[in-house]
Amino acid sequence: MTTQTGRTALVDELIAIAGPGAVLTDAADMEPYAVDWRRMFFGTPLCVVRPAATQEVADIVRACARHGAAVVPQGGNTGLAGGATPDGSGGEVVLSLQRMACIRALDPVGMTMEVEAGAILQTVREAALEQGRMFPTGIGAEGSATIGGIVSTNAGGVNVLRYGMTRALVLGLEVVLADGTVVNGLRRLRKDNAGYDWKQLFIGSEGTLGIVTAAVLRLVPAPQHSVTAFIAVPDIDAALAFYSLAQSRIGDTLSAFELISATSVGLQEKHFGLKSPASGGQWFILLEGASSLAGIGEAVESLLAEAFESGLAVDGVAAASQQQARALWEIRERITEAEGREGRSVKHDISVPVTAIPAFLTDAGKALEELSPALRLNVFGHLGDGNLHYNVIMAGPGDDGAAINRTVHDAVLRHGGSISAEHGLGQYRVGEWLRTKTPAEQALSAALKQTLDPAGLLNPGKVLPRRDRG
C-alpha cells in the first residue's frame, strides 16, 4: 500500500469493521502502542485497531491484505525484543488484542481454561487460583502481559523448571491466518494425535504466522504449601552443586531455582533500597519448593542444612510467611527495572546446557574483557533451565552494542547454546539469528513463512528479515 488515498480508504474500512472508537489515528493516542517497553524501538503506525471479537480480527486482516498493509499484532506490549513495535513507514497497522480479554470457561476438574488472547496473565492466574488451580507461566510482567503475547513468544519465566514453557501449557488454539481464515482448534484435550499438532507452529512465532485470538490452557493443582528461600553461595560451581543437591532432595517439589549475581542485588539496593537478606557470596539463589502435601517446610530446611554443612551455601533465609516470601521474590522480579535505571545495557537472553554455565561465564567474561575492560555485567536468570540474562551495562556512548552482542553470542555457540531462550527474536535479534543459524534451518523457516504468509504481511521484519515486497 503506497498512496495516501489507499491509506485513508483502509482506515475507513477498519472503522466500519470495528467501530470508530476502536481505531486510533492520533499520534498521541497511538504512542503507547508505537514504542516498546524498553523504549529501544520507535514506530509510526498508520493506525491502531482494537477489535472486540475474533470475526472482527478476521475482517481486519482480510482488509489489510486487500490493501497490502502489514499487520503488527500486539498484546500488553511488554515484550523485550521489539516484536510488537511497527516500523517507521507510517503504513503498518497495529492490531491490539487488549479488548478481547474474556475468560470464557474454567473447568477445575478437567483442569483447563479457555481465554481470549487479550486476557491479562495475572487475571488468568488469579481466576485459576480461586478454583484451587494454577496456570504456571509466571513472569515479572504478568500484570500487563496477555495470553496472546505469552503464547506468541512462548514465554518462560520462573516456573519452567517444573511445568515447562508456555508451549507445554497450551491444549488448544484459535488463530486467524494471513488470508483472514479463522482456524478453531479450541479443544480441551490432553491427548490429541489426530494429525499434525499445528498449534505448535503458532506458539512462539511472534505474530509472524497468524494472529492468536483465543487459547485453551492447561492448569495444574495449586500447591497448598510452599517455601521460598534466598541463599548466598560462594561461587558458580557451588550454585550448580546446590542445584543438583536440591534436585536429589526435593526435585518433585522444586518449582523455582533462580540465579542472581551480587551485581543484581547491588542494583536493587542502589535503586530501590531493597536490602539483600543474605551476604557473603558472589551469587545468590532464590529457591522455591511447592506441594499439595504438607512437609515441604521440613524438606527444604533439611536441604539447606546439608548445603550449609557442605559449604555450598554460606548465608541465607527461608521465608516464614507469605509476606516474607513476596519480599524475597520482589528482589528477583525488580532486577529488570533496576537495570533500566542504571543506564543503557545490552540485553541477552541466552541458554546453554546447565552444566556448561560455569565454563560459559568464564569464557564470555574473558572475551568481553578483551573487547572493553570497562563493561559491567548484570547476570541473573533461570539456572535450572540453563537460561541466563547475561546483560552488559555500557560504560559509555563509545561502546559498540553490536560487537558486545556478537562477542556474547559467539561464546554461547561455543558452549552449544541458543541466542534466545525465552524472549524470542522480535526485531532485536534478527541479524544475530541470520549470522548464527545454519542455512538449512533458515531455509526451513523461510518456507514456513512463505506457506502461511505468502504476501509477507504478518509482522514483517520480526523473527525473519523483512522481505523486499517490490
Assess contact for 118 and 145: CB atoms under 8 A.
no
Q: What is the DSSP letter of 369?
A: H
Assess contact for 17 and 60: CB atoms under 8 A.
yes
Q: Which of 152, 268, 276, 378 binds ligand FAD (CB under 6 A)?
A: 152
Q: How many residues bind ligand FAD (CB under 6 A)?
A: 37
Rounded-to-integer distance, Cα 214 and Cα 175, Å: 7
**420 near ligand MLT, rule: CB under 6 A:** no
How many degrees, rounded to 5, is the angle at CA 393 between CA 390 and CA 395?
145
Rounded-to-integer distance, Cα 170 and Cα 187, Å: 10
Instruction: Report the site for ligand FAD in 2-41 (rule: CB under 6 A).
Output: 37
C-alpha cell at 395: 560504560
**73 near ligand FAD, rule: CB under 6 A:** yes
**141 near ligand FAD, rule: CB under 6 A:** yes
Q: Which of 77, 226, 263, 420 binds ligand FAD (CB under 6 A)?
A: 77
CB of 140 to ligand MLT, least distance (A): 5
**389 near ligand MLT, rule: CB under 6 A:** yes
Query: What burial class does residue 440 get, using C-beta atoms within 10 Å of its C-beta: 0-12 exposed, 13-18 middle, 19+ buried?
Result: exposed
Residue 21: other Cβ atoms inside 10 A:
8
Q: Phi and psi for 336 in degrees, rounded to 5?
A: -60, -45
**117 near ligand FAD, rule: CB under 6 A:** yes
**156 near ligand FAD, rule: CB under 6 A:** yes
CB of 280 to ligand FAD, least distance (A): 27
**185 near ligand FAD, rule: CB under 6 A:** no
CB of 389 to ligand MLT, least distance (A): 4
C-alpha cell at 378: 548484570
Measured from the CB atom, the residue of 99 and 187 that comes closer to ligand FAD is 99
Instruction: Report the site for ligand FAD in 40-59 (rule: CB under 6 A).
Output: none
SS (H, E, C) 109-142: CCCEEEEECCCEHHHHHHHHHHCCEECCCCCCCC
Rounded-to-integer distance, Cα 174 and Cα 251, Å: 35
Which of the choices ligand MLT, ligand FAD, none does residue 152 contact, using the CB cut-off of 5 to 8 A by kind? ligand FAD
CB of 400 to ligand MLT, least distance (A): 21
Q: Which of 56, 67, 78, 87 binds ligand FAD (CB under 6 A)?
A: 78
**460 near ligand FAD, rule: CB under 6 A:** no
Which of the choices ligand MLT, ligand FAD, none does residue 74 contact, using the CB cut-off of 5 to 8 A by kind? ligand FAD
Q: Which of 6, 19, 140, 234 binds ligand MLT (CB under 6 A)?
A: 140
CB of 80 to ligand MLT, least distance (A): 6
State the residue number with the nearest CB to ligand FAD: 149
Rounded-to-integer distance, Cα 32 and Cα 381, Å: 28
**80 near ligand FAD, rule: CB under 6 A:** yes
CA distances to 143, 160, 230 from 121, in Å: 7, 16, 26
**336 near ligand MLT, rule: CB under 6 A:** yes
Burial 338-361 (b: 16+ CB within 10 A, else e): bbeebeebbbbbbbbeeebbeebb
Window 64-83: contact mask with ligand MLT (x via CB under 6 A) = ----------------x---
**401 near ligand MLT, rule: CB under 6 A:** no
- The DSSP line for 290-343 is EESSTTHHHHHHHHHHHHHHTTS--EEEE-SSHHHHHHHHHHHHTHHHHHHHH-
Which chain residues interact with ligand MLT by CB under 6 A? Answer: 80, 140, 336, 349, 389
The footprint of ligand FAD (CB under 6 A) covers 37, 72-80, 83-84, 97, 117, 139-141, 145-146, 148-150, 152-153, 155-157, 206-207, 211-212, 336, 422-423, 426, 459, 462
